[in-house]
Structure formats: structure tokens, C-alpha cells
């Protein structure tokens, strides 16, 4: 049986054992009408039995599937070693692969006349090993499933606390789920980290961090005319900062004004229309913003440049930054509005009751009280802007110019990652690995911003409840 079939079999056994558990509980209690004597509900005994049957068997299946291939391989290699001289052993992985392919061909009745007798013998051994492993797996899984049910059924007594055991299993399952999220994060960080370390063994850290030339093309052969391969990330960071700054210059004031208007001045009817509209703005896919930037805003800006006699390039940082600013307005406005609304009404009444006007109250009382939430919103928006890719890919171009001039074309970290990993790539060249180093830098930056945002929000939160 394959692993999938086995898993289904275990589930069916588990369903059956649910029923068995209930039956057993009722029997122990002495009949349907005496179930009140049990310390837990009959269905809880059933559920516990089902979990006890399913979980260990599934867990065993998972572990077995993870290690089966390597055990079979090592057994096969042992066998091959016996019959080969030492010179051939260097190509062991190739040999093993050939044997596996041969075994498959034999099973599918394909033409194997090219193979030697020895190879066929190995292939047959491999097939035999696999068959044995499958049998062992099936047998053990079923034994575990049935065995666990049997053990549990004997444990069910009137005083057996199925309820508490069930609670433990549930909390264990929840813990596992949160563990998965945590492990995934750690896994991503580790993979980026290790590839970056590989990159830094080819390109010095100082060149990457402080170099002002970015030209990741590397000649693959000696006679090829290619870039020299310069990996100075400064132009990319400058480009990122430039575009993010333009975006924030638009998003912070507009977003805050929207937040103040919606939370303090707007009539309930207007608010009920405007809030969902803003949320739609946050839901527009960034690629749509991207072509809006490239096809609408960028030409507009260029035409305006012609009007005032200013040479604005078609793929200017300005266009990308402005559209990105529009994109993150909802982040700033929505979170800031929450922060403003969360300020206790008593503070507002206190200020109004002192004879302050509405705008004085907002400026001097509500806004300072909401500052932690607002700063959190802004930092979140900044990390969003720094990590944004689609808009800049489409609107800002690829040229790594080191400039702070918003009407020139610049490129950003994320754009370069995309262009480095686009198409075919080899995973040992500095060009590809550079993407991981850039990713690491990006990750560290946004992580730092997020931590700062959380710190600020936490530090001031309790003060005004």
C-alpha cells in the first residue's frame, strides 16, 4: 500500500475506533441510561480513542516516509560496494541513480537489453528492498493503530478522565500549528542567511555594503564580453530610500488628514461609505498600481516636465514613489484612525469642556494621545513601502543610478532581486547569490522597523487607557 492509502486506512480505523470508544464507555457505565456515572461524556471517550488511534499511526507514517528512502539507499550502496572495485565507488550517486532507473524500467517492462547482468542484479535487489520496506511500513502502521486502540479500550473505566486527556491533545495540536508557522519563519531566515554567507565568500561584505557600483553581470566564459560584476549595493539602497521617501511624503500627510477627518468630522453616513472605499484601495493588487504608474502617471509627469522645461525621464522615481504613496495611504489612514478613535471620549470631552475648539482638541489632546498608534502605523507603512516590488518593477526601471534626484530613473533592492532571479540561473554564481544577500538586507531592515513600531506602540499603550 502507498502512504496515501495507508493514511486513508488509518483514518477509517480511527472513525471505527470512535464508535468503539463510545460503545466501550457505555458498557463500562453499565448501559445507555447509566452514562451519568462516567466522569466524561461517552463521545469524549470516542474522540479520545480516535485520536489515540490516528495520531501515533500518522506520526509514524510521517517519520517513516522521511527516512525510508535514505535507509533503502544506504542498504543498496552496501550491496553495490561488495561487488565493485574502489575506483568505481567515486561515482556512487550516479551508479545508484542508474540502478534506480533500471529497476523502474524492469517494472514497466521496458527494454533493458543494454544493461549488464550485474546491473540487473542490483536493480532486482533494489526492487526487493522497496517491496520489503513497503510491507514493513504497512504492517507497523496498522499494528500501531490497532494496538493503541486496544490499549486505550482497556484503560476506559468509570473513573477515566477522557475529558482532561482530550484537552491535552487539543492544546498539543494547537501548539503544533503555531510551531509550523515559527519553523517556517526560521527556515526562510536560515536559507536566506546561508546563501548570503555563500555570497559573501565570493564578494567581500564591505564591497557589498559600501560599493557605489551595481552591475551584477558576470562573464561566464573567459572569452565572453560581459560586465565586470560589481556588487556595490549603495545605489540600490539609495534608490529604495528615495522612492520610499517620496511615497511617505505623500502617504503620511494625506493618510493622517483622512484619519482625522473620518474619525472626528465626518458624518456617520459619509464614514460608512468612505471607510470601505479606502479599504478597497488597500485591496487593489499592486500589479494594477504598477501599470497605473507606468502607463498613466509616468507619462503625465513627463508631459508636465516638458511643459515646465524640465527633462523628466519616462521611468522616474517620482512616478513610482507617488503611486506607491497612494497605495499605502490606506495603511496610514486606517491604523491612525483606529488610534484616534481609541483615545477615550473622556479626554475629548475634557478638552471641549475647557472651552477648546474642535481642532485645538485634536491637535493638543487627541493627536498626542494617539501618537504611539500613529507612529506604529507609519512605521508599518514604511516597511511596506520598502518591501514593495511590483510598482517599482513596472514604473521605476532597472538602471542603478546613484542619485537623489526624483526625476531620474533609479532602481530598488526588490527590483534587483526580481531581475537577478528572472529566467535561468545557476545557484553557485555570485549574480544569483547576490539576490539572497539583498533579501537578507531587506529582511533585516523591515524587521528592525517592525520591532521599533511594536516597541513604540507597547511603550505608550498602557499610559492612556
Partner 1 sequence: MNTVMTSENLTSGDIVINGSVGTPFCDDAKMSMRNVNVFYAENQAIHDVSLDLAKNQVTALIGPSGCGKSTFLRCINRMNDLIPQCKVTGSFVMDGAELYAKNMDPVLLRARVGMVFQKPNPFPKSIYENVAYGPKIHGLATSKSELDEIVETSLQKAGLFNEVKDRLDKPGTGLSGGQQQRLCIARTIAVSPEVILMDEPASALDPIATAVIEELISELKEKYTIAIVTHSMQQAARVSQKTAYFHLGKLVEMGDTKQIFTNPSHQLTENYISGRFG
Stretch that binds partner 1, among 124-132, 301-309, 312-320, 357-365 (CB under 8 A): 357-365
Stretch that binds partner 1, among 132-140, 210-218, 289-297, 339-347 (CB under 8 A): 339-347
Please state, as a whole number, how many other Cβ atoms lie within 10 Å of the Cβ of residue 393.
Answer: 24
Tally: H helices and E strands in the chain: 17, 2
Closer Cβ to partner 1, 230 or 352, answer by number: 352
Residues 6+ apart with CB under 8 A from 244: 321, 324, 382, 385, 386
Binding marks (x or -) toward partner 1, 249..268, rule CB under 8 A? ------------------x-
Taking CB under 8 A as the criterion, which residues in 373-402 touch partner 1? Answer: none
H or E element in which residue 16 lies: helix 3-29
Measure the CA–CA gap between 23 and 17, rounded to whole angstroms: 9
Closer Cβ to partner 1, 263 or 383, answer by number: 263
Minimum distance from CB of 460 to partner 1 (Å)? Answer: 9
Q: Give me the phi and psi of 214, to 5 degrees please.
A: -125, 110
Give the residue among 320, 311, 304 at the shortest CA–CA distance from 250.
Answer: 320
* Given 47, 80, 148, 365, the residue binding partner 1 (CB under 8 A): 365
Closer Cβ to partner 1, 369 or 441, answer by number: 369
Q: Name the DSSP letter for residue 88.
A: G
* Given 350, 404, 422, 447, the residue binding partner 1 (CB under 8 A): 350
Stretch that binds partner 1, among 141-149, 211-219, 302-310, 363-371 (CB under 8 A): 363-371
Q: Does 153 interact with partner 1 (rule: CB under 8 A)? A: no
Measure the CA–CA gap between 79 and 121, rounded to whole angstroms: 10
* Given 193, 230, 356, 398, the residue binding partner 1 (CB under 8 A): 356
Q: Does 352 interact with partner 1 (rule: CB under 8 A)? A: yes
Q: Which three cell numbers stand for residue 433?
A: 547569490
Q: Does 349 interact with partner 1 (rule: CB under 8 A)? A: yes
Closer Cβ to partner 1, 316 or 351, answer by number: 351
Q: Which three cell numbers stand for residue 132?
A: 520489503
H or E element in which residue 214 lies: strand 214-215
3-class SS letters over 290-338: HHHHHHHHHHHHHHHHHHCCCCCCCCCHHHHHHHHHHHHHHHHHHHHHH
Taking CB under 8 A as the criterion, which residues in 265-284 touch partner 1? Answer: 267
Q: Does 86 interact with partner 1 (rule: CB under 8 A)? A: no
Closer Cβ to partner 1, 65 or 357, answer by number: 357
Q: Does 167 interact with partner 1 (rule: CB under 8 A)? A: no
Cβ-contact 259, 281 below 8 angstroms: no
* Given 75, 234, 347, 407, the residue binding partner 1 (CB under 8 A): 347
Residue owning grid cell 527494454: 111
Residues binding partner 1 (CB under 8 A): 267, 344, 346-347, 349-357, 360, 364-365, 368-369, 463-464
Amino acid at each position: 500500500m502507498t502512504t496515501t492509502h495507508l493514511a486513508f486506512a488509518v483514518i477509517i480505523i480511527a472513525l471505527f475506533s470512535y464508535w468503539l470508544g463510545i460503545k466501550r464507555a457505555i458498557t463500562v457505565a453499565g448501559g445507555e441510561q447509566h452514562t451519568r456515572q462516567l466522569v466524561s461524556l461517552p463521545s469524549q471517550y470516542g474522540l479520545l480513542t480516535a485520536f489515540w488511534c490516528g495520531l501515533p499511526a500518522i506520526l509514524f507514517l510521517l517519520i517513516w516516509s522521511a527516512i525510508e528512502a535514505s535507509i533503502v539507499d544506504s542498504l543498496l550502496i552496501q550491496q553495490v560496494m561488495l561487488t565493485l572495485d574502489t575506483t568505481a565507488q567515486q561515482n556512487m550517486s550516479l551508479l545508484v541513480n542508474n540502478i534506480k532507473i533500471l529497476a523502474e524500467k524492469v517494472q514497466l517492462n521496458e527494454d533493458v537489453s543494454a544493461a549488464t547482468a550485474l546491473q540487473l542484479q542490483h536493480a532486482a535487489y533494489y526492487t526487493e528492498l522497496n517491496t520489503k520496506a513497503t510491507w514493513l511500513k504497512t504492517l507497523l502502521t496498522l499494528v500501531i493503530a490497532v494496538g493503541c486502540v486496544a490499549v486505550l479500550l482497556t484503560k476506559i473505566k468509570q473513573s477515566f478522565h477522557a475529558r482532561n486527556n482530550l484537552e491535552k491533545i487539543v492544546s498539543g495540536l494547537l501548539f503544533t500549528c503555531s510551531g509550523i508557522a515559527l519553523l517556517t519563519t526560521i527556515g526562510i531566515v536560515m536559507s536566506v542567511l546561508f546563501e548570503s554567507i555563500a555570497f559573501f565568500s565570493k564578494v567581500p561584505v564591505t564591497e557589498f555594503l559600501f560599493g557605489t557600483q551595481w552591475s551584477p553581470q558576470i562573464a561566464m566564459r573567459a572569452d565572453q564580453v560581459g560586465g565586470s560584476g560589481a556588487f556595490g549595493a549603495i545605489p540600490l539602497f539609495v534608490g529604495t530610500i528615495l522612492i520610499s521617501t517620496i511615497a511617505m511624503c505623500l502617504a503620511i500627510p494625506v493618510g493622517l488628514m483622512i484619519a482625522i477627518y473620518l474619525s472626528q468630522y465626518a458624518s456617520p453616513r459619509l464614514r460608512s461609505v468612505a471607510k470601505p472605499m479606502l479599504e478597497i484601495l488597500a485591496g487593489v493588487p499592486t500589479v494594477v498600481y504598477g501599470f497605473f504608474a507606468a502607463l498613466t502617471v509616468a507619462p503625465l509627469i513627463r508631459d508636465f516636465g516638458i511643459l515646465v522645461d524640465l527633462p523628466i525621464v519616462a521611468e522616474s522615481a517620482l512616478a513610482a514613489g507617488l503611486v506607491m504613496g497612494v497605495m499605502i495611504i490606506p495603511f496610514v489612514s486606517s491604523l491612525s484612525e483606529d488610534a484616534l478613535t481609541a483615545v477615550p471620549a473622556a479626554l475629548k470631552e475634557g478638552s471641549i469642556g475647557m472651552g477648546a475648539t474642535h481642532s485645538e482638541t485634536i491637535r493638543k489632546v487627541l493627536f498626542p494621545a494617539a501618537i504611539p498608534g500613529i507612529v506604529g502605523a507609519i512605521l508599518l507603512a514604511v516597511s511596506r513601502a520598502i518591501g514593495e516590488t511590483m510598482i517599482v518593477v513596472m514604473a521605476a526601471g532597472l538602471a542603478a543610478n546613484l542619485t537623489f534626484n526624483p526625476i531620474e530613473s533609479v532602481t530598488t533592492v526588490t527590483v534587483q532581486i526580481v531581475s537577478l532571479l528572472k529566467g535561468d540561473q545557476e545557484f553557485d554564481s555570485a549574480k544569483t547569490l547576490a539576490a539572497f544577500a539583498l533579501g537578507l538586507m531587506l529582511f533585516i531592515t523591515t524587521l528592525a522597523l517592525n520591532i521599533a513600531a511594536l516597541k513604540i506602540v507597547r511603550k505608550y499603550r498602557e499610559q492612556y487607557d
